[in-house]
Amino acid sequence: MAELEGIYTIWLREMKRFVRYRSRILTSVVTPLLWLVIFGTGLGSAIRFGNVAGGYQAFIYPGIIGQTILFTAIFSGVSVIIDRQYGFLKEILVAPITRPSIVFGKAIGIGTAAVIQGIILLVLSFVVGVQMTPLIFIACTLLMIPISVGLAGVGLLIASFTDSMEGFNLIMSFVVLPMFLLSGALFPVSGLPMFLQAAVYLDPLTYGVDALRQIILGTGVIPLHISITVIMVFAAVMVFLSALMFTKKEQELM
Amino acid sequence: MINNKIPETQLFYYQIVSQEGISMDYIIETNDITKKYGDFTAVNSVNLKVPRNSVYGVLGPNGAGKTTLISMLCTILRPTSGGATVNGYDVVKNAREVRASIGIVFQSRALDDILTGREHLEMHASLYGVPSNVRQKRIDEVLDLIALGKKADEYTKTYSGGMKRRLEIGRGLVHHPKVLFLDEPTLGLDPQTRENIWEYITKLNQEEDITVLMTTHYMEEADQLCDEVAIINQGQIIKSDSPINLKRELKADTITVKVDKPELFTEKVKTLDYVQKVFEDDSTIKLMVERGENLVPPLVNFANQNGVMVESIELQHPNLEDVFISYTGTKITGGR
């Protein structure tokens, strides 16, 4: 009971921050729109992309939703490093609730924020001329939950063993960008050279993007049930691992 | 204003029952508590006994191990060896109970810019499981105590340094902790705000049933606030007693002299039998003597005889700084 209230409190704080930083919400919507409108239109008119109705722009639309979730979730998770050094997280870490509850509260808080951004993009589907039905909307929203929580878990896991933000660029280069580029957000993952193919299938986001693409556009390369299973397992493992790390590792707070 | 300590009807939740068989005269007891980082010993076999409802100061220079010591007492760091009890609970085995018994104010800010003061208190209350039927009342009490006024409902990024500190102290009190840990509570505050915070600490110690354990490297802070002080240097407790006793025990006044040839003077003055100890600090020389008021004229004469010009001479009765110097041979840097 006390743990549940603790989780709720941490989630609530995450939500308050999300709602109050309006500029962040704005950028999180504008950035994917730039990708869709400029990159999508630009590259779309340079290449022949026949296999999807709506063309290249429609093809990358699920990928850009995945990208938005990826960036929001991982960076919010990693920002725990700053919060631990200079902010409110210290207050939470010394409270009489368990570390797994703290991590879980954080993960679902960040996850909720990422899902809300995904929902905003779903509402904006008309921009790329993709048809949105209530069923697709609900299915996508449900699917975004484990993707977001899992990626928040990745961010938290990184934060659990990192003490300073100096490694931030490393995280960008070695985690976030590869996950984005390998996910098939921008190109079809079938018919790639072997080494790239393997890397693509190691990227958990590939399954998220492919599942979203199947629901939204009806095309994909991985069977939907496999994608969903992979995403669920990924989310559970990431939250579990970061909870474990936060419990094991001594946190220098003072 | 809170006039009563704890209303009888609410005692059921914040009375944290102590384990039997432990002396309750001391709310914190450490037993050779030690923290090592590789070869470096940050805290070395410290034994502290903090009397219930006192204001206890851990005084020492930066890097002496103060923060590491209280981090262990707050269950943030695990001791390498030795142990401690806080409110009768072991800091390793019963970390959760310890956490429920204490409030912590960190040296660096632990506030969220974009939450209001009241929201900070509300979140704290729910994290610490303060029952919802008494929660609002308690939050109002604390807001009264820390006197945030209308600012209570504004984002903390609009607060002054002093208000932020008061909010953090108040937040630490919401769940009626038995011990409040304050790590350098007035670091980085201007003198006026600092005195203001001192008043709050004194006031809450009188009005709430609480023990305050604070670290500081400000001598006057320890002198003015603390019932008892432990002097810590290089991870070890050198001496602990009340500030008055510490100063009395020194049996020494300090004569601070500025001369034109400090090295020569130091060398000569050491030979005088009424000078007990000599400390050099840049261009000033501190002499520890007894009954210093009689010794100023002879010292000036002595200097002149040895061809040394005295630029200034000053007599001081001992303060905690001198106590520290006499036990460690060094000055607390940053102390004013």
Q: pLDDT value at position A254? A: 61
Q: Average pLDDT for residues A69-83, to the nearest whole number?
A: 90
The rounded distance, in Å, linking the Cα atoms of A104 and A71 is 19
What's the token pair of residue B135? 């929660």
The neighbouring-strand residues paired with B85 are B29, B90
- In this model, does residue B249 exceed pLDDT 70? yes
Residues of chain A found within 8 Å of residue B171, distances taken between Cβ atoms: 91
Confidence of residue B259 (pLDDT cuts 50, 70, 90): confident
If one compares B259 and B121, the residue with the highest pLDDT of the two is B121
What's the token pair of residue A232? 């669920």
Q: What is the pTM of this model?
A: 0.81
Residues of chain B found within 8 Å of residue A13, distances taken between Cβ atoms: 112, 115, 123
Q: Average pLDDT for residues A93-120, to the nearest whole number?
A: 94
CATH code that applies to domain B253-317: 3.30.70.100
In this prediction, the answer to ipTM > 0.90 reads no
- In this model, does residue A191 exceed pLDDT 90? no
If one compares B193 and B215, the residue with the highest pLDDT of the two is B215
Contact assignment for A88 to B127 by CB distance below 8 Å: no
Contact criterion met (CB below 8 Å) for A245 and A161 = yes
Residue of chain B whose Cα is closest to the Cα of A99: B96
Q: pLDDT value at position B244? A: 85
What's the token pair of residue A50? 């026949």
Query: Hey, is the C-beta of A22 within 8 angstroms of any chain B C-beta?
Result: no
If one compares B214 and A253, the residue with the highest pLDDT of the two is B214
What's the token pair of residue A87? 């902010």
Using CB atoms, which residue from A5, A17, A98 is nearest to B114?
Answer: A17
What's the token pair of residue A10? 């941490």
**Within this chain, domains B8-246 and B253-317 share the same CATH topology:** no
Closest to B319 in 3D by CA, of B233, B240, B230, B253 = B253
Residues 6+ apart with CB under 8 A from B335: B61, B217, B218, B219, B321
- In this model, does residue A53 exceed pLDDT 80? no
- Distance to chain A for B284, nearest Cα, Å: 35
CA distances from A194 to A198, A200, A226, B157 (A): 6, 10, 21, 53
Q: Average pLDDT for residues A2-26, to the nearest whole number?
A: 91
Query: Hey, is the C-beta of A21 within 8 angstroms of any chain B C-beta?
Result: yes
Burial class (CB in 10 A: 0-12, 13-18, 19+), A97: buried
Contact assignment for A96 to B96 by CB distance below 8 Å: yes
Structural domain boundaries in chain B: 8-246, 253-317
Contact assignment for A17 to B99 by CB distance below 8 Å: no
- In this model, does residue B21 exceed pLDDT 60? no
According to DSSP, the β-strands at B49-51 and B211-216 are unpaired
Residues 6+ apart with CB under 8 A from B186: B165, B193, B194, B197, B198, B216, B218, B221
Query: Hey, is the C-beta of B107 within 8 angstroms of any chain A C-beta?
Result: yes
Q: Average pLDDT for residues A90-102, to the nearest whole number?
A: 91
The rounded distance, in Å, linking the Cα atoms of A169 and A172 is 5
Contact assignment for B115 to A88 by CB distance below 8 Å: yes
Q: pLDDT value at position A86? A: 78
CATH code that applies to domain B8-246: 3.40.50.300
Amino acid at A59: F
Using CB atoms, which residue from B67, B114, B171 is nearest to A254?
Answer: B67
- In this model, does residue A49 exceed pLDDT 80? no
Contact assignment for A94 to B76 by CB distance below 8 Å: yes
- In this model, does residue B66 exceed pLDDT 80? yes
- In this model, does residue A31 exceed pLDDT 60? yes
For the ranges A185-189, B21-25, B46-50, B266-270, the lowest mean pLDDT is seen at: B21-25
Amino acid at A136: I
Q: pLDDT value at position B12? A: 40
- In this model, does residue A55 exceed pLDDT 90? no
The rounded distance, in Å, linking the Cα atoms of B133 and B118 is 17
Contact assignment for B127 to A21 by CB distance below 8 Å: no
Mean residue pLDDT of chain A comes to 91
Model confidence over A211-244: pLDDT tens digits?
999 999 988 899 999 999 999 999 999 999 999 9
